[in-house]
Amino acid sequence: MPAVLEIATLIYLFLFSCYHIITGVISVFFPNFAIRFYKMLYGFHPKETEQLKMTLRPWGNFAIVTGVIGFMVLYNIDRFFLILFPFALLLSIRIWYRLELRSQLYRDLKVTKLQNWRMIIIQLLGAVLFVWFAFSLL
């Protein structure tokens, strides 16, 4: 794998792990702030927030776990590189439902097409880098 792509993968993995820990912590402990944060980050404008806050807590737990495991991979990538495949699967699922349910996303959560495609491209980049990197170590 070219060095520049290797560095790009490691930077992506670092940001991916930070993102999950930060969003996980705010979702679990500061759900009101989390909703404002997601409005800013994703452009979500939820109509109802009580159920959303209750859903954010269990999601936040799993996000923290994902972030911590991300740092474990980063710390010893030769040992844990296989975990990059589930990370790529996670990003692929997120891309899939952003595409599959895009009309709902635009209509019900008021996300713009630009905001949706921006996230899809970021996630696609990560999925490709993770799979490429993991295959290069197989």
Interface contacts to other proteins, rule CB under 8 A: 28, 46-48, 50-52, 54-55, 57-59, 61-63, 65-66, 68-69, 72, 79-80, 82-83, 86-87, 89-90, 93-94, 97, 101, 104-105, 107-109
Q: How far is the CB of 115 from other proteins (least distance, A)?
A: 14
User: Of 106 and 132, which CB lies nearer to other proteins in the complex structure?
Assistant: 106
User: Of 33 and 85, which CB lies nearer to other proteins in the complex structure?
Assistant: 85
For the stretch 82-121, what's the b/e string if a residue is b when 16 or more beta carbons lie within 10 angstroms of its beta carbon? ebbeebbebbbebbeebeeeeeebeeebebeeebbeebbe
Q: How far is the CB of 75 from other proteins (least distance, A)?
A: 10
Q: Are the C-beta atoms of residues 13 and 74 closer than 8 Å to each other?
A: yes
d(C-alpha 121, C-alpha 15), whole Å: 15
User: Of 71 and 132, which CB lies nearer to other proteins in the complex structure?
Assistant: 71
User: Of 7 and 113, which CB lies nearer to other proteins in the complex structure?
Assistant: 113
SS3 (DSSP) at 138: coil
Q: How far is the CB of 69 from other proteins (least distance, A)?
A: 6
Q: Which residue in this structure is represented by tokens 């997601």?
A: 38
Q: How far is the CB of 49 from other proteins (least distance, A)?
A: 10
- Structure-block tokens of residue 12: 């992506």
Other Cβ atoms closer than 10 A to 19: 15
User: Of 7 and 49, which CB lies nearer to other proteins in the complex structure?
Assistant: 49
State CA 11 to chain mean position distance.
14
